[in-house]
Structure 1
């Protein structure tokens, strides 16, 4: 009988002991040991690294009114990411109301010129989109090579002409349209369906280093 009574008291006592230990207040945590006060945090990439056109392929897009990291400056990557931000906010899967596709907003006819015949495959292949941008820029640079040589450094239509401005405008409106703008001293200032003009792109994307782009009449996008 005594053993049974002891058994009945032992179980509640064990439960009470466990609850007491679980609820017993522990030593006060000293939060000052975890303070970051006085520490310096600086995650900005160095200017030297940012200017390396080989190292920032997947960097966040650059835009003149927003702070993105790493800093891309006026490098080739800075150029293409700034242009991508203007075209689509850097969205690889964007399709606008006129059917232009991807991060850089390519039309299907332009894609054919650089060897891409399946727009749907193009839209879902970011690597191919990057290749397409470079191939199209290389092709435009070859078409406009004489105009680049003749016009860079001049002020036309109130805009100081640079190679990057010319290539950006060619991306917007085609190389032939840029030739007309330059050779008409800016009077032929074509605008697209959304009202963006060749002169605006000439100015907005001026001064980037586009020497990475090699002029190539037969440039194709291949992966």
Structure 2
């Protein structure tokens, strides 16, 4: 039997393409899904991140695609602020054979948190983090490189 590999629909290499590819990886783009670890929605947010963004009702979040999109935008802006110095320092460099890009860094921050991305970069790949499904920072750095997400503004303390 031949294995079928799911490929996300190609939505371009700008911010829309980036967020749709990330959503496909996280949930196949399903706003209403909850995974086996309790992560919610199209972008698979945990409650601790949602609360940081000003969302306190998981069911309301899960049933509101517009809110999910707003939270994604806010979280990316926040991660870009946290990683701003590392973006300047590491973009264009190679770590363990992977070219470091801004889009890869922000995708990896979505997966593992901006602090873990900083540790990965500053240890030159020695301190990698893996999620419960076996995906690590290096995977996301590689898979999500090459998107033009320069339109994302870095914001220090964004909230809903």
Pairwise same-fold verdict (TM > 0.5)? yes
Runs (4 or more) in structure 1 with deviation over 2 Å come to: none
Q: Pick the structure with greater CA Rg.
A: 1
Q: Deviations over 1:100-125 (max 9, x none)?
A: 00000000000111111111100000
Q: Following the alignment from structure 1 to structure 2, what is the Cα–Cα distance between the partners of residues 157 and 200?
A: 11
Q: Which runs of 5+ in 2 are unaligned?
A: 1-5
Confirm or deny that 1:182 pairs with 2:121: yes
Which residue in the other structure is 1:94 paired with? 33
Match of 1:195 in 2: 134
Which of 214, 219, 223 is the equivalent residue of 2:153?
Answer: 214
Q: TM-score under structure 2 normalisation?
A: 0.94
* Distance (whole Å) between structure 1 residues aligned to residue 115 and residue 97 of structure 2: 20
Q: 1:187 & 1:158 partners in 2: Cα distance?
A: 13
Q: How does 1:69-218 map to 2 (within 5 A)?
A: 72-218=11-157
Q: Distance in 2 between matches of 1:99 and 1:186?
A: 28
Q: Are residue 65 (structure 1) and residue 7 (structure 2) matched?
A: yes
The Cα offsets for residues 57-111 of structure 1, whole Å up to 9 and x where unpaired, read as xxxxxxx835x4xx52101000000000000000000100000000000000001
- 1:149, distance to aligned residue in structure 2 (A): 0.4
Distance 1:81 1:203 in 2: 16
Structure with more relative contact order (C-alpha pairs < 8 Å, separation 6 or more): 2
Mind listing any 5+ residue stretches in structure 1 that lack a counterpart? 1-63
CA RMSD of aligned residues (A): 1.4
